[in-house]
Amino acid sequence: MQISVITLFPELVKSVIAEGVVGRAAKRGLVELNCVNPRDYTEDIHRTVDDRPYGGGPGMVMRPDCLLKSIRAERKRLGETKVVYLTPQGRPIKQDMLKSLSEVDSVVLLCGRYEGIDERVIDLEVDEEWSLGDFVLSGGELAAMVVVDGVTRLLPEALGHDDSALEDSFSDGLLDHPHYTRPEKIEDLEVPEVLLSGNHQHIKKWRRKQALGRTYLRRPDVLQEKDLSKQDMVLLDDFMKEIKTSEVKS
Ligand SMILES: C[S@@+](CC[C@H](N)C(=O)[O-])C[C@H]1O[C@@H](n2cnc3c(N)ncnc32)[C@H](O)[C@@H]1O
């Protein structure tokens, strides 16, 4: 997959493919990250990328000319592609959006700075607007890096069997179950017995029950969107009973 990021801070964005799963995927050629600096598409001696807002007010706005040229050069290079502007005014990023993106050949991610970008860039060249959440960052780079990481780990073969994305939170509409590793006991907390039993069927059932229970407790909104099987309902019921029993005991 080819990911192009239009940013005033290419070095910052490139650091996302330096390490870990994404770094390995890049080395193996599964993902190619190309950073484009709109400054390279300016024509004045100062390489100006921003200007004062029409109508007055604080701050600066990113100029449309160098942004349009950057986007169009990337569209030409990539062929059919989608341009996503990272903005607090966009659709909140969800796992299913990253999943769909991981299934296309390329994407252009556009990062704003200052007060944002000239609205006409959005009118002319932006296909979708995505947000990292209901807060304001000083630039779109962190959001773009989040997208690069989240999408790359979903590419076929990016993750080994051991860290498969299939059981991650949100991949099947539930939060992930809790995880434990050595040592068996730390301070006064022990690993749940079932995980030491070697009985894979019981372990699978326990994990499913925990995933259902956690989603119910922490993200009832996520659980509401899921059609639960009869078996899942029984497991969730069990989970709730166990919680009530442990509350009575303590
Ligand atoms: C200081 S912000 C501009 C915010 C803009 N004036 C507003 O209130 O909508 C500068 C840039 O950071 C990026 N940005 C800020 N918060 C973001 C968020 N929650 N998600 C994605 N990008 C964000 C956008 O690219 C934006 O153009």
Report whether 13 belongs to an annotated binding site: no
Quick check: is 38 catalytic? no
- The residue among 152, 141, 174, 143 whose CA lies nearest residue 101 is 152
Any atom of ligand 1 within 6 Å of the Cβ of 131: yes
Quick check: is 32 catalytic? no
Q: Give the pLDDT band of residue 32 (cuts 50, 70, 90).
A: very high
* pLDDT tops 90 at residue 12: yes
Average pLDDT on 138-159 reads 96
Any atom of ligand 1 within 6 Å of the Cβ of 111: yes
Q: What is the pLDDT of residue 249?
A: 79
Quick check: is 44 catalytic? no
Q: Which of 168, 176, 232, 238 is catalytic?
A: 168
CA angle 144, 147, 148 (to 5 degrees): 85
Quick check: is 51 catalytic? no
Question: From CA 217, how far away is CA 207, in angstroms rounded?
Answer: 15
Q: What is the pLDDT of residue 79?
A: 98
- Ligand 1 atom closest to the CA of 143, numbered from 1: 21
* pLDDT tops 60 at residue 162: no
Token pair in block for residue 205: 């059932």
Does residue 91 sit in helix, strand or coil?
A: strand
Rounded to the nearest angstrom, the distance between the alpha carbon of 85 and the centre of ligand 1 is 10
Rounded to the nearest angstrom, the distance between the alpha carbon of 156 and the centre of ligand 1 is 31
Domain ranges of the chain: 2-161, 169-249
The CATH homologous superfamily for domain 169-249 is tRNA(m1g37)methyltransferase, domain 2 (1.10.1270.20)
Any atom of ligand 1 within 6 Å of the Cβ of 146: no
Q: Which tens digit of pLDDT belongs to each residue from 98-126?
A: 999 999 999 999 999 999 999 999 999 99
Name the fold adopted by 2-161: Alpha/beta knot (3.40.1280)
Cβ-based neighbour number of residue 35 at 10 Å: 19
Token pair in block for residue 152: 């790359």
Phi and psi torsions of 132, nearest 5°: -80, -15
* pLDDT tops 70 at residue 5: yes
Q: Which tens digit of pLDDT belongs to each residue from 64-103?
A: 999 999 999 999 999 999 999 999 999 999 999 999 999 9
DSSP H or E segment with residue 224? helix 220-224
The yes-or-no answer to whether 2-161 and 169-249 have a common fold is no
Any atom of ligand 1 within 6 Å of the Cβ of 60: no
Any atom of ligand 1 within 6 Å of the Cβ of 87: yes
* pLDDT tops 70 at residue 152: yes
Average pLDDT on 176-194 reads 98
